[in-house]
Structure 1
């Protein structure tokens, strides 16, 4: 049985990020949200594009106003009003000023802006009531960014700030990594779909819906293959298809030691190398991680042809809580690394205060689900109510953190510090 740290290291070592030549596509800027940039971006534009004013006020020559005060104001002639988007017509000479607005071009001859609150205007004259600093409130051309240098590096996730920067740089199309393809299926004779009538002993398959949502949240494309009965021939057929079309395959169920748990045996028959078959974690101990050589299927459309040399396989347990915990802990970091994102793969842990008493038998690293709340400026972990059984899906709703009780730790008292895995 692997420790959690060993399992995480093995999994991340198995993942080879998408190739920045083969595994990319061009998308429009409006479709680039949450995508991973595949090549660095430069711009032919300086930022700011020209010298401009940072406030509403008066553009002046510093020499004229350096000794201004309320007791001894400087009187200047206003020669022009300059709103944003207007190109100044007049140069500013000694004894002159221009009324200027935020973002407007600085006129020739002016080197400083005096904020309007420190002035008094009378018709075409302005009194400067306080001395500004040299070049105060002037945003100089290229002071934020110089044309031709790197604007954004490859390997970053494009969120709203990056999209705004790219729009300002007039980058209408971008080269991004394709979304990793993740095949998902559930195993078990007892499983039915959400629209089937339940018979005694049957269970609705919630796992593939949860996994599809988690895969999308991780920036990948889910390929949902449905429910497969506990029958070796049917399982092998679906597994072979999944391996041929996906970068990562996730199955839920069939990885324990029961008579109808066939996943590991079929993986071995498919020449898989099994790297992990159990992890010292609760919930989620029976976890299979394997790699399989890719055998391209010439009947598949070009868009589904593999670009990786091997497929990473995760055989997750069947219980709903185990599926979610093992995905958050092991699968999500693998998808992030595969996606091309630079150095932001591993789970994020925080040390916070526990609101409730947390218990474990101490035999393995235990994860308890709940929510983080900000109380008086300090984060507290509130354990979800009800049973923390791996089969209890209901109290997982609204989970945004998992409290971690390490091996040997049986009790964390209220107000004691606890390490949590932050989700989302």
Structure 2
């Protein structure tokens, strides 16, 4: 049985990023939302596009206002009004000023902006009551924030709202992104029914497929749902062959323990999969199978160009399946998606615990609950009720997993700080 850290290392070593040449598509700007940038992006325009005012006020020549004061104001002739979006027509000469608004282009001749609160207007004359501290005050210069031709965004960047604003500003309307990672999922077990079916005695609702579908979709993956697969070697083999041939990664739940109907590992080996992990010292989630399939690219599905496929056989228990997914699968899929190395690893924080926690045994224990910030301090509140892997009800609102190390006995008292894995809400 592998330690959690060893299993994590194996999984992340197996996970290889999408190819920066073959696995790239160019999409329209808005279609790039949530996607991973696949190539450096540069703009053809400086930003700001031209010198402009950072304030509502008056564009002046610094030499005209350098020594003015309330007692001895500089009196200038207002020769033009320049709103945003207007191209100035006049050159500001000595003794002149132009009324200007925030974002408006600076007129030729002016080198400084005086804010309107430090002036007094009388007809076409403006009295400057306070001398600017230095030339160029409140002027945003062309190219001060970005120079045309230099890199705007680097590969591995997720395009969210701030990045979208940057791309739009630079008029980058076609964006190179990695294709979405394709993940096939299915649940195994004769006892399972879908949520829309009647629940007969002895049956269980398959919640795993729904939970994993949402988790994968939130990550931007393309999800291939293969449904519920019966506890039959033939049915499982058919599902695994289909999944491995069409996806970058496969998630199955159930069938990886040591029961009489747990066929997954045998089938994986029969199909040529190399099994790297069979069990991990984690609670919940001990029965975890990770295998790798080398794929002949010439025979692979036309939508797939990766040379291999990762197979994750997750426990059938819903809480165990999600914990293993958060701990091992999510970082692997992030790496495959092309994210930068600083973005795909699991993220842990130190948080103050709000309850007594206890664990004992040889497995690293994960306690689910709510992780949140209060005045810059992370706080962790374990879910109320039983922390039992069969109790998925109190899994609702989980945003963190507190980590109790594998030890003979571990106690955490209320108010103590503990390591917590951040997970998606």
* Same structural fold, with TM-score higher than 0.5 when normalized by the shorter chain: yes
Residues in 2 aligned to 1:400 and 1:307: alpha-carbon distance in whole angstroms: 34
Q: Indicate the residue corresponding to 2:98 in structure 1.
A: 98
Which position in structure 1 is the counterpart of 2:306? 308
Displacement of 1:375 after TM fit?
3.8
Kept after mapping to 2: 8 A contact 1:244/1:295: no
Which residue number in structure 1 is paired with residue 10 of structure 2?
10
For 1:231-250, what aligned pairs fall within 5 Å after superposition? 231-250=232-251
Count of residues in Structure 1 that have an aligned counterpart in Structure 2? 421
Shift of 1:205: 0.3
> TM-score, normalised on structure 1?
0.97
Shift, 1:297, TM fit: 8.9
Q: For residues 206-355 of structure 1, what are the structure 2 equivalents within 5 Å?
A: 206-295=207-296, 302=302, 304=303, 306-343=304-341, 344-355=343-354
1:205 corresponds in structure 2 to: 206
SS of 1:289 mapped into structure 2: strand
Counterparts of 1:120 and 1:251, CA distance in 2 = 74
Q: Which residue of 1 aligns with 2:404?
A: 405
Partner of 2:370: 371
Q: Is the 8 A contact 2:334 2:344 kept in 1?
A: yes
Distance 1:239 1:117, change over 3 A: same
For the Cα contact (< 8 Å) 2:403–2:421, is it kept in 1? yes
Instruction: Determine whether 1:117 maps to 2:117.
Output: yes
Report the CA distance shift for 1:296/1:225 in structure 2 as closer, same or farther (over 3 A).
farther
> Is the contact made by 1:358 and 1:412 (CA closer than 8 Å) also made in structure 2?
yes
Contact 1:47 1:144 in 2 (8 A): yes
**Is the 1:59–1:111 Cα contact (8 Å) retained in structure 2?**
yes
Residue 79 of structure 1 aligns to a residue whose secondary structure is strand
TM-score by length of 2: 0.97
Distance 1:296 1:226, change over 3 A: farther
**TM superposition shift of 1:298:** 6.1
Cα distance in 1, alignment partners of residues 157 and 299 from structure 2: 34
Structure 2 unpaired stretches of 5+: none
The Cα RMSD (Å) is: 1.3
Matches within 5 A, 1:133-212: 133-212=134-213
Work out whether residues 349 and 378 of structure 2, in 8 Å CA contact, stay in contact via their aligned partners in 1.
Answer: no
DSSP-derived class of the 1:410 partner: strand
Residue 361 of structure 1 aligns to a residue whose secondary structure is strand
User: 1:88 corresponds to which residue?
Assistant: 88
